[in-house]
Amino acid sequence: MAREVNVRSIVVQGLSVLFLCALIELCAGGMLKGMHEYFTTLMPGLIVMVPPLLDLRGNINGALASRLGTALNAGLIQPRLSLSNEVKVNLASSLILSILASATIGIFAFGVNVLTGTSTIGLLELMGIAVIAGFTSGLILALLTVLVAVKTYSRGWDPDNVTSPTMATVGDFVTIGCIYMAVLLVVA
């Protein structure tokens, strides 16, 4: 289905989404600020891997959003919530990337803490927290990415203007909560 593309529609869609994203980011920042003592005092060394885990979510889900937007615009995916082969391959790829990259972040975080002399919890604990948080947030966000891409396309919006920035922002919020949950599971 061909859609009319013009500067006005791109700017309106982009500004609407970016305004909403700014509000969500403020909430995520407040949430992270509230957990600052927990991350720095009670779980030494954990704070080192928070930024890369947050970036990981935005990168993986941004790529997923782009692939889904392209597939929707090219007619490879129908604009309905169903698990076609194309959607399954994209979801599986995103989750595998999440697990592998999260484990790597856990290893690197431990290495950075050791090299800088920062007290830290153990390597297996950092890896466990990173993998649990990365996989859990990855699963939640991958499903949300499909939902947002399909729904925006169905409403006549271009998923490329909406899905990637939305998922990067929502990803920060979800990932912070998943890191906290992972800490409770690994340490408890």
Q: Is 81 helix (H, G, I), strand (E, B) or coil?
A: coil
Task: Reply yes or no on whether the pLDDT at 182 is more than 70.
Answer: yes
Question: Residue 110 carries which side chain, given as an amino acid letter?
Answer: F
* Spatial distance between the Cα atoms of 179 and 134, rounded to a whole number of angstroms: 8
Whether 36 and 46 have beta carbons less than 8 Å apart is answered as: no
In the DSSP assignment, the letter for residue 79 is S
Query: What is the per-residue pLDDT for 139?
Result: 95
Section 73-95 average pLDDT: 89
- Give the pLDDT of residue 55: 86
Q: Is the pLDDT of residue 39 over 70?
A: no
Least confident range of 80-84, 99-103, 124-128: 80-84
Task: Please list, in sequence order, all residues whose beta carbon lies within 8 angstroms of the beta carbon of residue 5, skipping any fewer than 6 positions away.
Answer: 158
Identify the structural domains of the chain with CATH numbers, from first to last: 7-187 (1.10.357.20)
- Please tell me the least confidently modeled range out of 36-40, 58-62, 92-96: 36-40
Q: Give DSSP secondary structure letters for 23-74.
A: HHHHHHHHHHHHTHHIIIIISTTGGGGHHHHHHHHHHHHHHHHHHHHHHHHH
Helix (H) or strand (E) holding 124: helix 123-154
Amino acid in the structure at residue 93: S
